Structure 1
Amino acid sequence: MKLGIIGTGNMGRILTEAILDSNAVSPSSMIVTNRTLEKALLLKDTYPEIVVELTAAEVAKQTDLLFICVKPKEVYGVLQDLKKVLRKDQCVVTITSPISVSHLEKELDCSVARAIPSITNRALAGVSLLSFGVNCSQKWKEDLWKLLEKISVPLEIENNITRVSSDIVSCGPAFFSYLLQRFINAATKETDIDQQTATKLASEMIIGLGELIKQGHYTLPTLQEKVIVKGGITGEGIKVLEAELGDIFEHLFQATHLKFDEDLASVEQQFTK
């Protein structure tokens, strides 16, 4: 299978590297392009056999499965270039949440899907969120699922929970790395610990926490029960979190959904021309 990537910015590059490092496809079977071509050419430093083309249309002509990894406002223009050269037996996948499979099906006659990745996929871990077009062939559903299984845990979702699922899976690593950094900064500010030591301790703690959950030793509630001793130090810390966190995460989801609605309105204008 020949696989194409249109857009090698942050997520496009992460997706490309994860797919190649997992041996899901060989570098010689990967064809990429980017508006700023130098970004695409950088991939050849690590994967010399990868093919770099000048345009999205040239990538589409040579591939079977095509990932569109550009910003939401740029997707419509890319689709107009692609529809001139796409074959019905190909599959086109968007990785951005405001672009739904119904948007793609309005413009394309081939199989379509949406696959929202996470930066955690770079470590061949985490979840990727999948939605399939009504006319997506069973073969492409199976092939895309198998491909994403190489780099993640694929999960098919309904369109109505796309944003919140993406908040957790795709934005979540940024949210929780921010909280962890604030945790480290506070430790260095309030005590004699240095930044390097605090970072090492916190990083290893979060890795260990992930392993406890992954291996099924504890759920989140039972883990807290095991650590919190009545009248102990951890309990005092939890009291502070309960008192000061308030509705911070409710506000977070409200903010992301408001921005999502703005992006969706902008996309809808393009697709209803």
Structure 2
Amino acid sequence: MGIIGIVGYGSMADMMVQKWLEAGVLSARQLMIHTRREAERLKQLTQHHQDIKRCSIDQLAASCDLIFICVPPLAVLDVLDQLNQTKASTHIVSVAAAVTLDKLEKHTDQPVSRYIPTLTSAVGTGVSLVAHSEKVGKKEQEHLHRLLSAFSIVREIGEDRIDAASNLTSSSPGFIAAIFEEMAKAAERNSRLSLDEAYEFLTYALLGTGQVLVERGLTFAETVDRVATKGGITGEGAAVIKQQAPAMFDDLFTQTLNKYEHLKAQVDKTDKHH
């Protein structure tokens, strides 16, 4: 698998590293990490895995076959500019939203890919979205896909669809949590259930629904049909959702896709090569 470099060590970088080590996909001595901030999670990691090398960005650039840039969107291009000592074959992967392949390619001659992670990979599931520049060969693609497969399903997607897809993979755990937070509060307001009881009941219902969908291969509509008997209570509730939810979800996509465009404009502003 060669030497893997990580620039920036936030929660997503930590999730990736922990999963690779747990699965035995990488050994600690194959990992090099450069970060400007002294994160507690990195201290704990290096205490448990002393062979992980913390290093300067130049050392990382000179040694690694694959580099993940795990910094916020507005810092990505600056990091790319600093990675000017890389080997010709080094594959660079950006984990940030809204920094397009086109932008990345203006700042490096290396093969570049984008990877959109998801929180659910912390429990070994979820979809990892990837998009590759034309310079990324089959071998590099397979290497990256193999690494990400250690904790997720990997799906390659065209960049023109990546923002909407990110809503459904990367952002949706937050959206789902927000929706069910409101459902739990409604249960508390409209019944004698406590909020804690509502959280518990909904959490296990969510877990079970996900398993049924995956293991039985059901669609959402089929699941509604299985639970809702004709003229019954579930059907009554599902009808309310069908009537009121489309407008909410249309707004959600409008707002989030606008936010991506706003972020891309901010990246443009900070881009010295623009």
CA contact (8 A) 1:5 1:16 kept: no
| Segment of structure 1 superposing worse, 32-41 or 201-210 | 32-41
Aligned to 1:116: 116
State the 1:68 CA deviation.
Answer: 0.2
Deviations, residues 173-219 of structure 1 (Å, cap 9, x unaligned)? 10001111222222223222233332222111111101111113421
| 1:261-272 → structure 2 map (5 Å cutoff) | 261-269=261-269, 270=271, 272=273
Matches within 5 A, 1:33-72: 33-39=34-40, 40-53=42-55, 55-72=56-73
Give the deviation of 1:146 after TM superposition: 1.1
SS of residue in 2 equivalent to 1:218: coil
What is residue 248 of structure 2 aligned with on the other side?
248
User: What's the TM-score, normalizing by structure 2?
Assistant: 0.92
Aligned equivalent of 2:150? 150
- Is the Cα–Cα contact under 8 Å of residues 6 and 66 in structure 1 kept in the other structure? yes
Letter in 2 for 1:10: S
What are the residue-to-residue correspondences of 1:76-87 with 2, within 5 Å?
76-83=77-84, 85-87=85-87
Which is further off, 19-28 or 146-155? Answer: 19-28
Does residue 139 of structure 1 match 2:139?
yes
Deviation, 1:245, is 2.6
Aligned to 1:4: 5
Point out where structure 1 has 5 or more consecutive residues left out of the alignment: none
State how many pairs are aligned.
271
Retained in 2: the 8 A contact 1:97–1:162? no
- Contact preservation (8 Å) 2:106, 2:273: no
Deviation, structure 1 residue 4: 1.1
Partner SS state of residue 237, structure 1: helix
* Percent of paired sites with the same residue: 26
Structure 1 residue 136 displacement after superposition: 1.2
Work out whether residues 76 and 96 of structure 2, in 8 Å CA contact, stay in contact via their aligned partners in 1: no
Unpaired stretches in structure 2, ≥5 consecutive residues: none
| Segment of structure 1 superposing worse, 136-145 or 187-196 | 187-196
Assess if the C-alpha contact under 8 Å between 2:126 and 2:169 holds in 1. yes
Give the superposed CA RMSD.
Answer: 1.8
Moved more, 147-156 or 21-30: 21-30
Deviation at 1:80, TM superposition (A): 1.1
Q: For the Cα contact (< 8 Å) 1:113–1:132, is it kept in 2?
A: yes
Between the aligned partners of 2:6 and 2:256, the Cα distance in structure 1 is 27
SS for the counterpart of 2:62 is helix
Alpha carbons of structure 1 residues 185 and 204: separation in structure 2 relative to 1, 3 Å: same
